[in-house]
Structure 1
Amino acid sequence: MALVASVAVVAGCGTDVDDIAVGAGAGWPAAYHDGRNSGVTSVEGARRMALSWSRPVAGPVERPVSIGSEGQIFVTTRTASGCAILSFQMPTGRKRFCNPLGPNAISSPSVVDGMNNSYVGDDGAVNSFNYLGQPRWRTPVAGVPVSVQFTGDGRVLSVTQSGQIDVLSRQTGQREVPTLQLLGEADFLAYPDLTRPAAGDGLDDCLTGGPRCAVANIAAVDAASGRFYLTVWEPGRPMASVVALRYGDGVVARLWSAEVLVAGSGTSPAVSADGDTVYVGDNSNRLIALDSSDGRTRWVRQLGFTPRGALSVSADGLIIPAGDEGYLLAVRDKDETSQIVWERKDLELRGVPVQTGGGVGYTVAAIGDGLNLVTFDIANGDTIDSDVLPAAKGSTTGTSVSAQGQVVVATRIGEVFAFEPEK
């Protein structure tokens, strides 16, 4: 009883004053660094890296790790012990906390605010923990939040794989606007025997953007306009769509829908720095640029492989797609067309490329029988440095860069590797 009471006190101690920084900030607070899913940080990238530490998490990993402003690492998994969200300290990899959640927390990304409070979904809820792992609040939702982001005004934007959208207070978890169901509300009067699907229904299709997962990816948020963008595959439709919505004036409103994603979505959408363009990849090997105002297709680029997971999009329109079946290449946005700037067909991707300050990029690639963290020159794609992930197999879920320039990746089979700038 004392434990329940203490949790209630923690959850209820929020105030109406919100002075906790959110957004792109220091560290890697979201799966793809920021609300725009840019995969770009202003932190100066080091040209030589060295392995600092590695450790298993005792379960598989699906989502990129997030990193707080002071280097605290967060990762979701599924373990036999029920541990679902883990936090590690950057210098040594020492575990700070390991909390049980529903088994499908592995499918939810974590986001971190300026006080190292984390926000993550699981089976039927959004959860928040403080930097010590103590619970702050838990808010029920329908499904599993496969997208968790921050809005421009510092709320938590949650979207489940079944299409439920909620905007929640970061302090209390309370709903700030009415819930929106992208696929519409079920008519329980017409169908009184209708039951809600299990929270994890359709999640198996989310990793590949398949039709049983209505919303497969992480929302891209344009903080300045209040707009955000999702990939949505509505039941019975021949292909998936990019959908634009706006949060503001006390509601979430749907703006436009562009049914352009052949065979489903390949990547999360990403928004350009000026907010004018939305980029996304589909399962027919295409990179697509849409006008953010109306969904008009600006250009389409056939890549020759399926872009998967994310796109790194710089402020000047250099786009580097991820995709474990592809290779490292860069595409330049030319407004109504695109141009291949460089390509490295010899470098097979096994992770998500990111861009940093100083013209340096990082990704994981297959080299020999294993995996290497590759440091590359953004201007021409040339390899600057290459560091082995000892005994690593398969592929990685993302590439995250801390405020101090460390690079952290996690393999899908469940091991975290941290690299630091070589002195």
Structure 2
Amino acid sequence: MRTRTRVVASLAAAGVVALAGCGTDVDDITVGAGKGWPAPHHDATNAGTSPVTGAEAMSLSWSRPVGGPIAQPLTIGAEGQMFVTTSTGNCAIFSFQMRTGRKRFCNPLGPSTIEAPTVLDGVSNVYVGDDGAVNSFNYLGQPRWRTPVAGVPVAIQFTGDGNVLTVTQSGQVDVLSRQTGARVVSTLQLLGEPDFLKYPGLTRPASGDGLDDCRTGGPRCAVANTSAVDPSTGRFFVTVWEPGKPAAALRAMRYADGTVTQLWSAEILTGGSATSPALSADGDTVYIGDNSKRLIALDTADGTTRWVQPLNWTPTGGISVAGELIIPAGDEGYLSALRDKGDTVEIAWERKDLALRGTPAQAAGEVGYTVAAIGAGLNLITFDTATGKTVDSDPLPEATGTTTGTSIGPEGEVVVATRLGEIFAFTPDR
């Protein structure tokens, strides 16, 4: 099965071309962090931290179901337009307005779109994968282009020169023009090219092959997480579990000079990768969690381990990084923060009374947000990132289960979505 996954990557890469829609070669649209939440973990570094000053008191503005489950964090454009993927009979990607929650558009895509994250550029063009392709729509939902790939793009980010970096769960890496969808460099296979002489009868598997294992970083999903990109150096970091290997690896790659190359690989993720990698602000350290309940810091230059911190639970989803402060997520755990001291790490504070049901996010002004279990329900917790102290608590009415992420809007709004498929939008009391 793993060999068949490797073959599909090569077959798709060898023969497909970008299908350009109404794109243009003129590039005058910004990309990057900015305000809003334009990527699953805010920006290409996956740091889960917003430059917007956080409010210490929030109120629920509106809530609404989308009609299907949600697996990925919502993204928010610079003007407050929101995007989320799901799985319904007619729609796979939705867009909503921040002020009212009114639907702006919904478009049909492949059934695996629910597992694909979205990223946004400065005018809220959205880029999203589905079964066998990368797609781009404008802010009204009109198609811009569609480029075939092998598998489902589970990682999508912007490069430092404004192109679109995608990695599928089967390990196919592509860099695409943001304007036309055309390939900027040759496709790279993280699992290597297949040997057709040795396996002449192999056929192409379904685009979603092994996708179920991505949710837990299992061995049938070669790439399970969103890549972290350092726009200033061209380096990006991706988790890879090769067939037959005892553990998954964190690989450092580099996109530069018209090619993608591997810099180093550290096979250290016991039980597979549990989180997306996240970068420090200076780009010198990359953080990653594995399924043996560890948070690991590595030197981005050579992949050497700086420190390992055992946790009492398996970290999942994203890691929020602001300066020395690191706040892991994990629905089996509780709200806590670590302080990176370079070659060592220490516990900054712990809130064992707050059981996490979402991903913590940090805003400017030492304010953080996350969803926690309070009684039988869920609450949005506003906390002081310096001490962990709760400064506000707001219920998500009738919400159950857990949430996919915590997104901070351009005016300090906080938006979360339950995995069952309901969106809750909170606005600052100011």
TM-score of the superposed pair, with normalisation by structure 2: 0.95
SS in 1 for 2:92: strand
Within-5 A mapping of 1:85-164? 85-164=93-172
CA contact (8 A) 2:151 2:206 kept: yes
Cα distance in structure 1, aligned partners of 2:175 and 2:89: 32
Q: CA deviation at 1:189?
A: 3.6
Deviations 1:357-398 (A, max 9, x none): 111000000000000000000000000000000010100000
Within-5 A mapping of 1:238-387? 238-314=246-322, 316-387=323-394
Cα distance in structure 2, aligned partners of 1:68 and 1:161: 26
CA contact (8 A) 1:55 1:93 kept: yes
Cα distance in structure 2, aligned partners of 1:133 and 1:257: 39
Amino-acid identity (%): 71
CA contact (8 A) 2:134 2:148 kept: yes
1:33 aligned partner, one-letter code: H
Q: CA deviation at 1:12?
A: 4.1
Q: CA deviation at 1:196?
A: 1.6
Cα distance in structure 2, aligned partners of 1:192 and 1:258: 32
| Alignment match, 2:397 | 390
Cα distance in structure 1, aligned partners of 2:417 and 2:22: 34
| Alignment match, 1:51 | 60
| Alignment match, 2:36 | 27
1:220 aligned partner, one-letter code: A
SS in 1 for 2:170: coil
CA contact (8 A) 1:397 1:410 kept: yes
Does residue 1:76 correspond to 2:85, yes or no?
yes
Cα distance in structure 2, aligned partners of 1:198 and 1:117: 28
CA contact (8 A) 1:246 1:255 kept: yes
Q: CA deviation at 1:15?
A: 3.0
2:34 aligned partner, one-letter code: G
Cα distance in structure 2, aligned partners of 1:135 and 1:371: 37
Deviations 1:299-341 (A, max 9, x none): 0001111100110001x22100000000000001110010100
| Alignment match, 2:45 | 36
Q: How many residues align?
A: 412
| Alignment match, 2:72 | 63
SS in 1 for 2:369: strand
> Which residue among 207, 210, 226 is the counterpart of 1:199?
207
Cα distance in structure 1, aligned partners of 2:118 and 2:25: 24
Cα distance in structure 1, aligned partners of 2:243 and 2:290: 17
SS in 1 for 2:45: coil
Q: CA deviation at 1:25?
A: 1.3
2:348 aligned partner, one-letter code: V
Deviations 1:263-293 (A, max 9, x none): 1111000011101001000111100000001
Cα distance change, pair 99–12 in 1 and its aligned pair in 2 (3 A): closer
Across the aligned residues of Structure 1 and Structure 2, the Cα RMSD in angstroms comes to: 1.0
CA contact (8 A) 1:88 1:94 kept: yes
Deviations 1:158-201 (A, max 9, x none): 00000000000010000000000000122234322111221001
Q: CA deviation at 1:26?
A: 1.6
SS in 2 for 1:63: coil
CA contact (8 A) 1:56 1:414 kept: yes
Deviations 1:43-95 (A, max 9, x none): 010000000000001110110000000000000000123x1000000010000
Cα distance in structure 1, aligned partners of 2:64 and 2:21: 35
Q: CA deviation at 1:17?
A: 2.5
Q: CA deviation at 1:135?
A: 0.4
| Alignment match, 1:7 | none
> Which residue among 405, 419, 422 is the counterpart of 2:412?
405
| Alignment match, 1:6 | none
Cα distance in structure 1, aligned partners of 2:249 and 2:23: 38
Runs of 4+ with deviation above 2 angstroms:
10-17, 187-192
SS in 2 for 1:204: helix
| Alignment match, 1:17 | 26
CA contact (8 A) 2:407 2:414 kept: yes
TM-score of the superposed pair, with normalisation by structure 1: 0.96
Q: CA deviation at 1:11?
A: 4.6
CA contact (8 A) 1:11 1:135 kept: no
Cα distance in structure 1, aligned partners of 2:394 and 2:318: 22
